[in-house]
Amino acid sequence: MPASLGDLRIVDFSRVLAGPFATMLLADLGATVTKIERPGTGDDTRGWGPPYDERGQATYFQSVNRNKDSLTLDLRTDDGIARARELVAGADVVVQNFRPGLMDELGLGYDQLHAANPGLVYCSITGFGTGKGADLAGYDLLIQALGGLMSVTGQPDGEPQKAGVALVDVLSGLFAGVGILAALRHRDATGEGQHVEVNLLSSLLAALVNQSSGYTSGGIVPGRMGNAHPSVAPYEVLPCASGDLVLAVGNDRQFSVLCEHLAEPELAADARFATNSARVTHRAELREHLVRLLKERDAADWADTLTAARVPAGVVNDVAGAFRLAEQLGLDPIVGVPRGDGTEVRLPRNPIGLSATPPTYRSAPPPLADD
């Protein structure tokens, strides 16, 4: 099967999540990725467990390292540096997320490698950039705190909350992947590589989208609203006779249909609720009405009824329920990725659909190799 990036060679010095996530996505699209790891311990996430799979391997490591080869190099030695430079000389892309300046100290910085390989695309992922924030530790939880995400996550009267996954790392990995592909497109046209730089703080600020622009364009500093939305209502979690129902009503037509199925159509004509802006202004009053009406039935029952009426609604799934839903919808969310011994490891599918060159799943996350 043809692959979009089948002729691409990547040397991946990155560890943990943001960098490995970016290179795995490119590997899924056909790139050959050589993962450089520390002798003895390898990537930090090899030891990040539980949970572990049936073979005792950390599922964290498995989540971002399929379709790669592993090579251990001691970059503290001249031999390790020489071997790394040999690999990069024949590569198209380098990805690294060491502290700013370390790769330069090792003779593996962008300027040094670009001089030897002018077509090289070199991607650096840092926590806070390479200027005044160069010495700050770039951990996802810290970025979520410093970058404002925790200030808009959680209940208004509760403590700030982090997202349930290392969301900033994932977003930064996605931005890095886009930047690499853009640089490769430029190289196709000119023959020249370039330095792609992504930092976690800037990635988060960009990913705060409407919350960020509310501040930059409107001067509004958002706060925690629980499950409510600052600009749309009803768009939240509501209690029912049994269970909780999520309503994501995005326009006035959907709200009118909702009111019909709640057997109180006059709500849609009420001046306080007739438009989205009015509903946002009178959010608390609207919630009182909805809680009163929804308590007549179970959440799952409401979800079936409203979904059939094309009102966005659903129950709150756990992760197992989410995968079951995707399976019921025919999305095939799990792929079996082959190990060398003929067995498979089950991993989430790459969500990118390509009609001619779809993602492939050629090899399971590699064991730690001997040099």
Reported CATH class of domain 9-208+333-348: alpha beta
| Confidence at residue 27, expressed as pLDDT on a 0 to 100 scale | 98
How many residues are present in the chain?
371
Reported CATH class of domain 235-316: alpha beta
Closest listed residue to residue 4, CA positions, set 262, 160, 185: 185
* Single pTM value for the model: 0.94
| Confidence at residue 370, expressed as pLDDT on a 0 to 100 scale | 64
Which own/partner contact pairs does 155-159 have at CB distance under 8 Å and 24+ positions apart?
Answer: 155/224, 155/226, 156/223, 156/224, 156/225, 156/226, 158/224
Q: Residue-wise pLDDT tens for the chain (371 aa)?
A: 789 999 999 999 999 999 999 999 999 999 999 999 999 999 999 999 999 999 899 999 999 999 999 999 999 999 999 999 999 999 999 999 999 999 999 999 999 999 999 999 999 999 999 999 999 989 999 999 999 999 999 999 999 999 999 999 999 999 999 999 999 999 999 999 999 999 999 999 999 999 999 999 999 999 999 999 999 999 999 999 999 999 999 999 999 999 999 999 999 999 999 999 999 999 999 999 999 999 999 999 999 999 999 999 999 999 999 999 999 999 999 999 999 899 999 999 999 999 999 999 999 999 997 65
Interatomic CA distance for residues 217 and 138, integer angstroms: 28
Residue of 79, 169, 332, 370 with catalytic role: 169
CA distances from residue 278 to 233, 250, 256, 271 in whole angstroms, order as listed: 9, 13, 14, 7
| Confidence at residue 109, expressed as pLDDT on a 0 to 100 scale | 97
| Confidence at residue 216, expressed as pLDDT on a 0 to 100 scale | 97
Q: Name residues whose C-beta falls within 8 Å of residue 121's C-beta, 6 or more positions apart in sequence.
A: 92, 93, 94, 180, 183, 184, 187, 193, 194, 196
Closest listed residue to residue 37, CA positions, set 99, 105, 84, 88: 84
Tokens of 8: 């691409």
* Burial group, residue 212, by CB count within 10 angstroms (0-12, 13-18, 19+): middle
Q: Is 169 in the active site?
A: yes
| Confidence at residue 106, expressed as pLDDT on a 0 to 100 scale | 96
How is the chain split into domains, by residue range?
Answer: 9-208+333-348, 235-316
| Confidence at residue 153, expressed as pLDDT on a 0 to 100 scale | 96
The secondary structure of 251-285 as a DSSP string is SHHHHHHHHHHTT-GGGGGSTTTSSHHHHHHTHHH
| Confidence at residue 369, expressed as pLDDT on a 0 to 100 scale | 78
